Copies of this chain bind each other. A is one copy, B any other.
Amino acid sequence: MFDPIEKLKEHLRFPSVSTDSNFKEGMDGSRRFLESLFADMGLSVEVVNTPMHPIVLARREGNPEWPHVLIYGHYDVQPADPLEEWRSDPFDPVVKDGRLFARGAADNKGPQMAHIAAVAQALEEDPELPLRITFLIEGEEEIGSPSLKPFLESRKDSFSDVDLVLLSDTLSPTEKQIVVTVGLRGIAVLDVQVQGPSADLHSGLHGGAVYNPVQALCEICASLHDENNRVTVDGFYEGVTDVEDWERDELAKLGADEEAYKKTLGVGALHPIEGYTPFEATRYLPTLEFNGIGGGYQGEGSKTIVPSKAMTKISCRLVGNQDPKVIGERVKQAVLDRAPPGVSINVEMGHEGAPYLVTPPGRPNSPADMPGRLVYAFEATTKAIDESFGCSPLFLREGGSIPIIADFKSILGLDSVMIGLFLPEDNLHAPNESMNLDVLNRGIDASKKILFSIAKHG
Contacts and interface: CB of A to CB of B under 8 A. Distances in A.
A292 interface: yes
A298 B290 CA distance: 11
B399 A300 contact: no
A290 B398 contact: no
A297 B202 contact: no
Interface stretch (A117-125, A236-244, A422-430): A422-430
Contacts of A398: 204-205
Copies in the complex: 2
Contacts of A313: 296-298, 302-303
Contacts of A290: 212, 214-215, 218, 295-296, 307
Find the residue from A21, A204, A210, A214 having the highest chain B CB count within 10 A.
A204
Interface residues of A, number: 102
Nearest to A171: B205
A340 B18 CA distance: 35
A434 interface: no
Interface stretch (A53-61, A151-159, A221-229, A407-415): A221-229
B207 A399 contact: yes
Nearest to A401: B204
B208 A303 contact: no
A209 interface: yes
Interface stretch (A62-70, A77-85, A373-381, A383-391): A77-85
A401 B293 CA distance: 29
Given A293-B310, A303-B429, A305-B430, 11 more contacts: A18-B301, A143-B302, A202-B430, A205-B424, A205-B428, A206-B265, A208-B278, A215-B290, A218-B290, A291-B296, A292-B296
10 contacts: A196-B267, A200-B431, A201-B430, A204-B317, A211-B271, A214-B290, A289-B306, A291-B302, A293-B295, A304-B315
